[in-house]
Structure 1
Amino acid sequence: MSIPSAAPGAFTLGPSLLFCPGSMPARFDKAAARADAVIIDLEDAVAAVDKPAARIDVARALDVGAAAGAEEDHSEPSLDPATTLVRLNAGDPEELEADLQALDDAGVRHVVVPKAADVAVLDRLHAAMPHAGLIPQIERPDGVLAASALAAHPAVEALFWGTEDMTAALGGTTSRTPDGALRGALQHIRHIVLITAAAHGVAAVDATSTELRSRPRLTADAEEAWASGFAAKACIHPDQVEPIRREYMPAPADVERAKALLAAAPSSPAAFRFRGEMVDAPVVAQARRVLARYDAGREHHEDRGRRRRDADEAE
């Protein structure tokens, strides 16, 4: 029996997805206000002894966030389910069961599935959370080999990947070269994730950078991610949010060119001359994507301003 699709038709989160430990509820509001969406981590970022309390805190914050439309003034930590991704303990059956029980009525809409490799785990999550979009995180070699099967699952809305677990699983010692670039094997895996996601019509989310001091490297990574087709990029520190966001916001010259190109495009698909270049349907599609990203960036900017004001007033 086929599983009805639960994933949204388009991945609209991002471009900056900020990790926040589930055991630190005092940071929930700030993290959510700072980034475009927040990844609340119940897995690696939370010690085993702290997981029971973290589950309770996350479930409560999602409840408060869901009710915020009716009652804007609240002093408890809150998380908007629409812009919150929860990373579960998918690799440990007992911990995963505890996660699912604690979040049963929390209205979770986006689930990050770490160390994903087994489609049966996606089936289990979909059965427990039928209205949540699933985001498998490819962090091990077996996940790379299973990427196509994972992306084909009807509840999946995006593929995500990770560098440090992957490096350890490959037997490596560092994920980057001395100049900060990803090592060749990881670049290859990154490309596989992007291509596989596109082949199955789902979004791709780029991995985090653990280097907090090198702003030029983060900027270069974010620019390359946006230009290559990654819908969003994850980050681990609030200071990484703005560089990602800036690189995902098309430059004024690019916006002007896209508007002019679309205005000059013929109504029926055909190659045409534009500013000394021959342009055809794929280039028109790229121009539409530039304008869509620009419009989304402006909308997110207005929404972020409102959320940051609310967070500041709640303090």
Structure 2
Amino acid sequence: MPGANTRALEKAQALPADTLILDLEDAVAPEAKAGARQAVQEAVSAKNYGSREVLIRINSLDSAWGHHDLAMAVAVEPDGLLLPKITSGDQLRQVDALLDKAGADPGMGLWAMIEMPRAVIDIREIAAAAQDTRLRGLVMGLNDLALETGALTTPDRAAFQAALMMVVMAARAWGLLVIDGVYNDFRDDPGLARECEQGRVFGFDGKSLIHPAQIETANRIFAPDPADVAHARAIIDAFALPENQGKGVIQVAGKMTELLHLQQARRLVAISEAISGAA
């Protein structure tokens, strides 16, 4: 949601989204930065977003606005900060140290936009910063990546598939959430659906969106299938039976099922219950 659009900030209070990103960076013109910062400060301070996670995308710290954005965020305590154009783990550590010095709530997380070629090349080092910073997740920024690389954006995202999978792999290696990039044509629901399906196949946890009209499609595609949830519950129940205690492999619905499947089942059920609880 553009931080300069007070109507959008208000409308976000009723959107069926998991996370709201209140943007002070790309969606805000230079002359509107100060006003947007004030609007976001008031919106977050009001605490009218319910169970939705609230992130503020601040401007880069080497810009004229970044440190002012950071100070405001510390004061209003959103759930996290989304940092643009991250290219190294040291940048994350710098912000983390500034948050600690400013007395930020320990629960305030960091999210990194992965939108620069160097970020993709050094994604392992960026994701590894989760070991000693507040880093919680990675968000793909393919618009900037396309601009920086000169690659063409096609429906199958062929030019970016390697980068997308590298980021997913790094996120999984370091226990981070990973969110797919935006789909720019908010009137093209079939195109959005195809890209959501692709993102789910790649392993993304969800998709970043630029318009409320996109929410229903993304929620539907990324939500667990009811049949899969039922099977996951059956796996959990089967491993809980006394006769299966201590076993690494059992049979569920005629299929050999290992402990790794139990882990997957628990994750799927947790996601399903989180969605049900937020509905």
Q: Shorter chain as normaliser: what TM range?
A: 0.7 to 0.9
What residue in structure 2 maps to residue 181 of structure 1?
156
> Are the equivalent residues in 1 in contact too, given 2:60–2:83 (CA < 8 A)?
yes
> How many angstroms apart in 2 are the aligned matches of 1:242 and 1:160?
20
> Where in structure 2 are there 5+ consecutive unaligned residues?
101-105
Pairing of 1:222-237 with structure 2 (within 5 A): 222-226=196-200, 228-237=202-211
- Asked if residue 121 in structure 1 is aligned to residue 121 in structure 2, the reply is no
2:56 aligns to what SS in structure 1? strand
Residue of structure 1 aligned with 2:59, choices 66, 69, 89: 89
Q: Which region of structure 1 is more displaced relative to structure 2, 45-54 or 251-260?
A: 251-260
> How many angstroms apart in 1 are the aligned matches of 2:90 and 2:231?
46
What residue in structure 2 maps to residue 16 of structure 1?
none
Q: Which amino acid aligns with 2:110?
A: L
> How many angstroms apart in 2 are the aligned matches of 1:129 and 1:106?
13
> Are the equivalent residues in 1 in contact too, given 2:197–2:221 (CA < 8 A)?
yes
TM-score (norm 1): 0.78
Q: CA deviation at 1:117?
A: 0.5
> How many angstroms apart in 2 are the aligned matches of 1:223 and 1:32?
27
Percent identical pairs in the alignment equals 29
Cα deviation, 1:20-70, whole Å, max 9, x if unaligned, reads 0000122113124212221011000000000011111111221121xxxxx
Q: CA deviation at 1:255?
A: 1.8
> How many angstroms apart in 2 are the aligned matches of 1:203 and 1:54?
28
Residue of structure 1 aligned with 2:236, choices 244, 247, 262: 262
> How many angstroms apart in 2 are the aligned matches of 1:160 and 1:210?
15
Q: CA deviation at 1:241?
A: 0.5
Residue of structure 2 aligned with 1:41, choices 5, 18, 23: 23
Q: CA deviation at 1:90?
A: 1.5
Q: Which amino acid aligns with 1:41?
A: D
Q: CA deviation at 1:247?
A: 1.6
TM-score (norm 2): 0.87
> How many angstroms apart in 2 are the aligned matches of 1:40 and 1:245?
20
Q: How many residues align?
A: 265
Cα deviation, 1:239-289, whole Å, max 9, x if unaligned, reads 111111112222222222112222223322422222232221222222222
What residue in structure 2 maps to residue 98 of structure 1?
68
213 and 62 in structure 1: CA distance in 2 versus 1, 3 angstrom threshold: closer
1:43 aligns to what SS in structure 2? coil
Q: CA deviation at 1:79?
A: 4.9
> How many angstroms apart in 2 are the aligned matches of 1:25 and 1:84?
15
> Where in structure 1 are there 5+ consecutive unaligned residues?
1-19, 66-77, 302-315
**What do you get for the CA RMSD once the two structures are aligned?**
2.0
Cα deviation, 1:174-219, whole Å, max 9, x if unaligned, reads 322xxx2212x31111101110011111111111111223323322
Pairing of 1:137-152 with structure 2 (within 5 A): 137-152=113-128
Question: Which runs of 4 or more aligned residues in structure 1 lie more than 6 Å from their structure 2 counterparts after TM superposition?
Answer: none
> Are the equivalent residues in 2 in contact too, given 1:139–1:162 (CA < 8 A)?
yes
> Are the equivalent residues in 2 in contact too, given 1:233–1:244 (CA < 8 A)?
yes
> Are the equivalent residues in 1 in contact too, given 2:51–2:278 (CA < 8 A)?
no
> How many angstroms apart in 1 are the aligned matches of 2:260 and 2:232?
13
Q: CA deviation at 1:107?
A: 1.2
> Are the equivalent residues in 2 in contact too, given 1:84–1:110 (CA < 8 A)?
yes
